Amino acid sequence: MGIIRSLSQLLLVCCLILPAVAAAQVDDSEAQQLLTALAESSFKEKKDVVNRIASSGDERARPWLEAYGDNKLARIESSGEFVIVLKNRGRDWTVESAITGDNLGEISRRDIDTIRVNNALRNELEGILSVIDLKSPDEENRLTAARALKGSVDDTLAERLPEFIAAEESDAVQAALTEALAIYRVEEQGDVSAVATLSGSLNSEARAALQQAQNSDDPALAAAAAKAMESIEQKLKMNRAAETLYFGLSLGSVLVLAAIGLAITFGVMGVINMAHGELIMLGAYTTWGMQQLLPGQPGLALILSIPAGFLVAALAGIAIERTVIQHLKGRPLETLLATFGVSLILQQLVRTVISPLNRTVITPDWMSGSVMINEGLSLTLNRMYVIGFALVVFAGLMLIMRKTRLGLEVRAVTQNRAMARSMGIKATKVDILTFGLGSGVAGLAGVALSQITNVGPNLGQSYIIDSFMVVVFGGVGNLWGTLLAGLSLGTINQLLEPWAGAVLAKILVLVLIILFIQKRPRGLFPQKGRAAEG
């Protein structure tokens, strides 16, 4: 029997591929023994059993002890099986097996014996439960538990903490525990030596403890606390600055993404494309469509949307160029009006064909969540991806414009069309390709935007004015200018936001740009030489 049992357990372990967790488990029969001991021993002995359960390292220990403290750990009279009571109202109680965790359905309460507990034991349990996770073999669990202890350490725990700190292997957990203990010492005992530990801590409990200490009667403690607070404030300020910068850069990279395609079509080609925003929208809708096509695989769909979004937007852009823009060459104001008309048509098309409501685009797992830099600062992953994506797109465009034949021809055609044509460059082909490239990049922007804003028919409209501002601010025809303008406008916007509010910040930025254009009508980096005369 024993061999078969252990073999089957081995198999189970292999199947689950969770050797680390399985190693910490106590044998099921051992567990049964422990629980039986708990049920049958006297209150005096129970204390000992509880401690044995807690130190067993089994991950089921916590639910057992929690249930026990709540009077919910029980034994079925007939079979002797231990259960945890999920619902103890009425005649039949819902229970699950304490050993396997299987739901056993409803059982009449007469067949169930609750394991008795008294108040002394409850206190003991409370102490044990607060540190039970500190004994977990998994470092991640220990760290979470240690962090949760900050500010909630009581007298009994404080006595036991030093031994945990001494036994702890991981530096991070040790630091967290030390801090938790220091908070207790500062708060409850007014211990000056503990203040130094808290200096520079970003934990809110630590700050609360120090704040309290600052107002204490002991001048030495108050002074030390004030000093520690100062260092914390300093750190917090840095944190806030870093956070603002991060948000600014992320907003800025969104602006860069939205504007960089425009920097090609408007900046380099000189075509005013008011439908640029709608090309962004098409990119975002492509992402949504891809996810509809590949349900359950949002990550794959997102990656596939990058080429697909580029293609869809590029084709739409080329269609606009062929049908409308090429007939309006040299009449920029008319081009502006006509492409605005195109943007209205595209918006309404999406409203009619898909829906006037916003669509949800799923963020894949590897893009959600955040990276914790320190306790006061964590950066969301999706924005980090957008920043990276913007830089990659920018670098790609730079390469195309600088290093490829197409880039050369584009620059030649925009500088002097007639001369370029007489050198054998097919200007019309270059027009189409350039416009397709700019539009395709707008599609890429849409793919990225689908991860951070709502995907709806008005998506493009909300970016078109900003995009034009970025291009004009950066200096028309200059990709570097667009990058710098986008990032700096994003950062300025975020800097203004805390004291002006989101809307006012946006208004202020617009007014700033309008004033800036008065001062430097050709932007940050004006084109020089022949190209400037266009």
Partner 1 sequence: MWLTRPLQERSTQIFLGVLFGALVIVSALHLFMPQDSALYVSSYTVTLLGKYLCYALLAVAVDLVWGYLGILSLGHGAFFALGGYAMGMYLMRQIGDRGVYGDPVLPDFMVFLNWQELPWYWAGFDMAWFAFIMVLLAPGILALVFGFLAFRSRVTGVYLSIITQALTFALMLAFFRNEMGFGGNNGLTDFKDILGFDLRTDATRLGLFLATGIALAIGYVICRGIVTSKLGRVSVACRDAEARTRFIGYRVERVQLFVFVVSAMLAGVAGALYVPQVGIINPSEFSPLFSIEVVVWVALGGRATLYGAVIGALLVNYAKTVFTGIMPDAWLFALGGLFVLVTVFLPKGIAGLMSRRSKKDDTDTPSAQEATA
Q: Which residues bind partner 1 (CB under 8 A)?
A: 270, 272, 324, 327-328, 330-338, 340-349, 351-352, 465, 468-469, 472, 503-504, 506-507, 510-511, 513-515, 517-519, 521, 533-534
Task: Quote the least distance from Cβ 494 to partner 1, whole Å.
Answer: 17
**E-strand stretches of 296-434:** 370-374, 377-380
Number of H helices, E strands in the chain: 23, 7
Q: Which two tokens stand for residue 69?
A: 């403290």
Q: What is the SS3 assignment for 105?
A: strand
How is the beta sheet containing 82-87 ordered, strand by strand? 103-108, 92-97, 82-87, 73-76, 112-114
Task: Quote the least distance from Cβ 492 to partner 1, whole Å.
Answer: 15
Strand partners, 96: 84, 103
Q: Which two tokens stand for residue 57?
A: 């390292």
Question: Closer CB to partner 1, residue 331 or residue 426?
Answer: 331
Question: Closer CB to partner 1, residue 243 or residue 334?
Answer: 334
Strand partners, 103: 96
Q: Which two tokens stand for residue 404?
A: 């490829």
Counting Cα atoms < 13 Å in the Cβ hemisphere of 387 gives 17
- Return d(Cα 358, Cα 456) in angstroms, integer: 4
Strand partners, 374: 377
Task: Quote the least distance from Cβ 353 to partner 1, whole Å.
Answer: 11
Task: Quote the least distance from Cβ 286 to partner 1, whole Å.
Answer: 21
Q: Which amino acid is located at 289 in the chain?
A: G
Task: Quote the least distance from Cβ 507 to partner 1, whole Å.
Answer: 5
Provide CB contacts within 8 A for 94, sequence distance 6+.
85, 86, 87, 103, 105, 106
Question: Closer CB to partner 1, residue 326 or residue 454?
Answer: 326
Question: Closer CB to partner 1, residue 241 or residue 507?
Answer: 507
Task: Quote the least distance from Cβ 534 to partner 1, whole Å.
Answer: 5
Residues in the chain: 534
Task: Quote the least distance from Cβ 512 to partner 1, whole Å.
Answer: 10
Question: Closer CB to partner 1, residue 36 or residue 458?
Answer: 458
Question: Closer CB to partner 1, residue 342 or residue 487?
Answer: 342
Task: Quote the least distance from Cβ 349 to partner 1, whole Å.
Answer: 8
- Specify burial of residue 451 (Cβ count, 10 A radius: 0-12, 13-18, 19+): buried
Question: Closer CB to partner 1, residue 240 or residue 331?
Answer: 331
Question: Closer CB to partner 1, residue 73 or residue 338?
Answer: 338
Q: What is the DSSP letter of 453?
A: S
Task: Quote the least distance from Cβ 413 to partner 1, whole Å.
Answer: 15
- Return d(Cα 300, Cα 287) in angstroms, integer: 11
Q: Which amino acid is located at 57 in the chain?
A: G
Question: Closer CB to partner 1, residue 147 or residue 351?
Answer: 351
Q: Which of left, alpha, beta for 477 (phi over 0: left; psi -120 to 50: alpha)? A: left
Question: Closer CB to partner 1, residue 166 or residue 353?
Answer: 353
Beta strands 112-114 and 370-374, pairing class? unpaired
Q: In 242-268, which positions are buried (b, 16+ CB within 10 angstroms) versus exposed (e)?
A: ebeebbbbbbbbbbbbbbbbbbbbbbb
Question: Closer CB to partner 1, residue 82 or residue 468?
Answer: 468
Task: Quote the least distance from Cβ 440 to partner 1, whole Å.
Answer: 22
Q: What is the SS3 assignment for 138?
A: coil
Q: Which two tokens stand for residue 190?
A: 């007014």
Task: Quote the least distance from Cβ 409 to partner 1, whole Å.
Answer: 20
